Amino acid sequence: MARRTLAGMALAVEAEQLVKHYSGRGGAVEAVRGVDLTVEAGEVFGFLGPNGAGKSTTVRMLTTLMSITSGSARVAGIDVAADPDGARRKIGVALQEAGLDARQTGRELVILQARLFGSSRTQAAGRAQELLELVDLVEAADRRIKGYSGGMKRRLDLASALVHEPEVLFLDEPTTGLDPASRLTVWEELRRINGRGTTIFLTTQYLEEADQLCDRLAIIDDGLIVREGTPADLKTELRERRGLATEPTLDEVFLDVTGRTRERTAGEVQEVQG
Amino acid sequence: MTHAMVLGQRALREAWRTPEALLPTLFIPLFFLVVNVGQAGKIFPTGSTPFLEGQNYAAFQLPSSILLAASFGSAALYLVEDIEGGYFDKLRAAPVSRTAIVLGRLAAEAAKSVAITTAIVLLALPFGISIASGPIGFLLLILLTASWAVVFAGFMQLIALKTRSAAATNSGGLVFFPLLFLTPNFVPRDLLTRPMEIASTYNPVTYIMEGLRSLILEDLAWAPIGRGFAVVAVLGVLMVALNVRTIRRYD
Ligand SMILES: Nc1ncnc2c1ncn2[C@@H]1O[C@H](COP(=O)(O)OP(=O)(O)OP(=O)(O)O)[C@@H](O)[C@H]1O
Ligand SMILES: [Mg+2]
């Protein structure tokens, strides 16, 4: 049985003491070292952290793409290790590297994806048209993906993650590499998708994005969750603890919890230059 | 099954849209056929060479060429592209049986092989080659070759899945040298030198080649045909099982 919140809503994501060790030539890497997460249905949840903190690794475990070293995870109430196919039916995934196939057209890719999630040929064609409209790719739909811009690829990847109307949508850095206008377009789309009831779990490097989009955040550093709460809570906490006169930005919260002060960051940059 | 089919269609579209990869699989084997026959044809004249069964030396060489055409394993390089580009993860994140993921590409490889083998045999007919085992034999020849294409592609995909590298996969493809040349490809097995005969006896491709050759040179001879099919059946099941296992454990 999936755990429920007091309000009776099923949890969209629940992870308990998730651990991932990679074993490579240079010895084992402890990428994720005991992560607990709960995301309520309907939330937009932001997962932040510096490079190499373990964000993608966590997402890959939650989306059945990677074995879990220890701990457990449920998505939409389904244990991802015990019933991966069950979990896959409930989730949509757009990873850090937009997983596209350059030789197909956008439409072919979305139709194939819909077929893999059990749609008939006609259903798939209809669904593809709908989704291509949603992400504004109708005009480019019958061109090969090879010629798409970075922003178009991201949006297509997003569309293909939505073919089966997933309960939970996992997005690993959905706006990295996008220009500001395309980023705003993606935000709009994510708000619309969330408005229809889909829970969104996203990782991002852009704190502005997290501030704008997310109901709740967790910050991971070196494989461990170091802060969790609403953007407002996190800022208030820092203001009170530091006795600041004005509300800090999420950037400041991030630098504070990941142990990187502005001065140190600046110093590191100087070292590289020197 | 539907899943394997739509994935197979996608793989065929991919091949069709990459003619620069497809055409060499037709022309290199034809080139070898012409060159090999040009070099050794005079040594083995039709009338005085019993193992030709009344046909010319090109008929004897044809199996080597169609096996070469079936041993490019280009599917594996597309798979590496899928892995590197992240599309493979997208497939893995879909509720699709891992067997369907493997069979999709292999089915496409079989279909490609049917087309290419048919083309090579048809192009060879004007050069005085005939299929002595008749229309049924022709179908069996296509089927046996396509099955070998599946085995070889399965092997290459296994390397692709293990190494996730195009360079390693390409190098892995070089096994086709020992596989195709440690065989009775110029003369029947009993005319090989002793070490070569031993090597070819342990090489599974020998039995496929002998099966194909018997289909071209003789009326239906079930013993060599049966050995050929038995070899591809065993290797085929093994390759599919290993591929599925590797995808299940893929991290
Ligand atoms: N396949 C792998 N083999 C070995 N180590 C890995 C592998 N993938 C990731 N790691 C290591 O695990 C740690 C976490 O990586 P991960 O990709 O999860 O970080 P991330 O938070 O997503 O970083 P980024 O912001 O750069 O995307 C890093 O130290 C990384 O080097
Ligand atoms: Mg990452």
For testing contact with chain A, the best of B13, B77, B83, B87 (most A CBs within 10 A): B87
Find the CB nearest B251 among A67, A104, A118: A67
Query: How confident is the model over B132-182, as pLDDT tens digits?
Result: 999 999 999 999 999 999 999 999 999 999 999 999 999 998 898 899 999
Which residues have a Cβ under 8 Å from the Cβ of B191 and sit 6 or more positions away? B51, B184
Strand pairing category for A91-94 and A168-172 = parallel
Lay out the sheet containing A11-24: strands in order across: A27-40, A11-24, A70-75, A78-79
Which residues have a Cβ under 8 Å from the Cβ of B177 and sit 6 or more positions away? none
DSSP state of A144: B
What's the complex ipTM?
0.89
Q: How far is the CA of A24 from the centre of ligand 1 (A)?
A: 12
Dihedral of the alpha carbons of A264, A172, A27, A259, in degrees to the nearest 10: 20
Chain A partners within 8 Å of B91 (Cβ) = 116
Kindly determine whether residue B13 and residue A103, on different chains, have CB atoms separated by under 8 Å: yes
Compute CA distances A201 → A10, A198, A224, B10, B176, whole Å.
15, 10, 17, 30, 47
* Helix intervals (H) in A35-120: 55-62, 84-90, 106-116
CA distance B90 to chain A (A): 6
- When pLDDT is cut at 50, 70 and 90, the band that residue A263 belongs to is low
Decide which of 3.40.605.10, 3.40.50.300, 3.90.1150.10, 3.30.70.3340 is the CATH code for A1-90+205-261: 3.40.50.300
Q: Atom of ligand 1 at shortest distance to CA of A53?
A: 21
Strand pairing category for A27-40 and A11-24 = antiparallel
Kindly determine whether residue A102 and residue B86, on different chains, have CB atoms separated by under 8 Å: no
Q: Atom of ligand 1 at shortest distance to CA of A57?
A: 18
Q: How far is the CA of A193 from the centre of ligand 1 (A)?
A: 28
Question: pTM of this prediction?
Answer: 0.90
Number of Cβ within a 10 Å radius of residue A106: 28
- When pLDDT is cut at 50, 70 and 90, the band that residue A7 belongs to is low
Q: Is the pLDDT of residue A125 over 60?
A: yes
Query: How confident is the model over A148-204, as pLDDT tens digits?
Result: 998 899 999 999 999 999 999 999 999 988 889 889 989 999 999 999 999 999 999
Q: Where are the domains of chain B?
A: 2-248
- When pLDDT is cut at 50, 70 and 90, the band that residue A271 belongs to is very low
Find the CB nearest A117 among B7, B82, B94: B94
Q: How far is Cα B156 from Cα B86, in angstroms, rounded to an integer?
A: 19
Find the CB nearest B6 among A85, A89, A115: A115
Q: How far is the CA of A172 from the centre of ligand 2 (A)?
A: 7
Lay out the sheet containing A224-229: strands in order across: A91-94, A168-172, A199-204, A44-48, A216-221, A224-229
Provide residues of B within 8 Å CB-CB of chain A: 2-3, 6-7, 10, 13-14, 17-18, 82, 85-96, 249, 251
Query: How confident is the model over B105-127, as pLDDT tens digits?
Result: 999 999 999 999 999 999 999 88
